[in-house]
Amino acid sequence: MRERWLHDLWAGQDWNGWPLRTTKGQRLLVLDPGKWNQDQGPDFLLAKIFIDQVLWVGSVEIHLRANDWFRHDHTRDPHYFPVILHVVWMQDPLHPNIPTLELSRFLTVPRLRELIRFMSRVGELPCHKRMRPVPDLVWKEWRCELLNHRLNRKKTGFKNGSGGFRNRLARQMGAWVNREIFESIDASISDELIHEIRSDPDLVTAIYLGQSGLLLESNGDLYLDKLFVDYDNLRAKYALNPPYRQLLWMRIRPAANPLFRMVQLAHLIHGEWQEVKKWKGRTADEVRMALKEIVLNDYWIAGRQTAFSESTIDSLLINLWAYLEVYTAEQLILRLSDFRFENNRFTRLYRSLELAAISAADSQAMLELNEYFCQPNRCSACLLGRYWCQDQAPQSI
């Protein structure tokens, strides 16, 4: 028995009409199994489940045995507080007080193996069996539509003033793993507070680290203790409440370390980079040079040549600067074509397309394709999906 099999089964939700019940006899109806979490925390996030006709929205954790919950020390980990259902292969006398689905009541090991063998891998793209190289003309047409969709979506955030752009900046600094958490931390800090303290980099750093839960009282470090005192005073004065969500640390490259990224974000706010006018009217080289000139406190910069790495600066230019002062997808493609293709776990899914001379315009289009078409299984709305289906349809005589 493997836990991965249970992950595949839960993600696929191929219950074949079985009436599911918890170990206490509560009826289960799964509306949405949730988003498969490849990072720290529960196995599935934002699941929607009816438990005895009451709708619950939260996380789902999967184990082989119920007492694995205690062996993995989930009881004290705040990432597991939102768990609404514990899916296990076998129940134990020792188990958490959470609604539990014991799968061994509903199927045998051979039946489980048979199901997994015939189920498509949820981690792959819905069309992975059909994917193959596409003509350059087809991809360019679809890329233009995808970038137009992405442009309109990002422009909406830019129109909300400095607060909206500050939130976009925070989301980008959070990288892929912590982008939503950085966004919620930034949203918990008011514009009025930022306006009052932004001239002091230590105060801005204190408020962002404090709201992130990264400052601990009296840890023996003089500089961090000073930041904690500053944060404690601001928290009392402005009645601040840190967001509930915790930062994720697992499977993160050193360059995306959440602590250093949060410090970088604080210094961007101190330098008023949350103001759209700071980015407008500048070329990519001018923005790049300005970001390189940002100086962090010596406490943070030890061992680093610059405050911002080339990859971080490129990410900011590609995802923020490139979308300012452009009004059509064609203009956006021209801007993004000057940057290298973003090679990450999402864009690598589309290697089968075998595109030539690819740039950041292609990778940005692929990110939009993955998030708004592939993951929601909107294959009928995808130009590539329609092309492959039409290409494989039998020809009329």
pLDDT digits (tens, 9 = 90+) for 261-281: 999 999 999 999 999 999 999
Whether the predicted pLDDT of 187 surpasses 80? yes
Mean pLDDT in residue range 202-231: 90
pTM over 0.95: no
At 130-160, the pLDDT tens digits run 888 999 999 999 999 999 999 998 887 676 5
Q: Which band of pLDDT confidence, cut at 50, 70 and 90, is reported for residue 251?
A: low
Q: Residue 319 pLDDT > 90, yes or no?
A: yes
CA distance 80 to 10: 18
Alpha helices in the chain, H assignment, sequence order: 3-12, 68-71, 109-118, 136-158, 161-173, 175-187, 191-197, 201-211, 222-238, 258-270, 284-292, 298-301, 310-319, 329-336, 360-369, 383-392
Strand bridging mode 100-102 / 83-90? parallel
Region of 161 please: left (phi>0), alpha (psi -120 to 50) or beta.
left
Asked whether the predicted pLDDT for residue 394 surpasses 60, the reply is no
Query: Helix, strand, or coil here: 169?
Result: helix
Is the model's pLDDT at 120 over the cut of 60?
Answer: no
Token code pair at residue 323: 């979308």
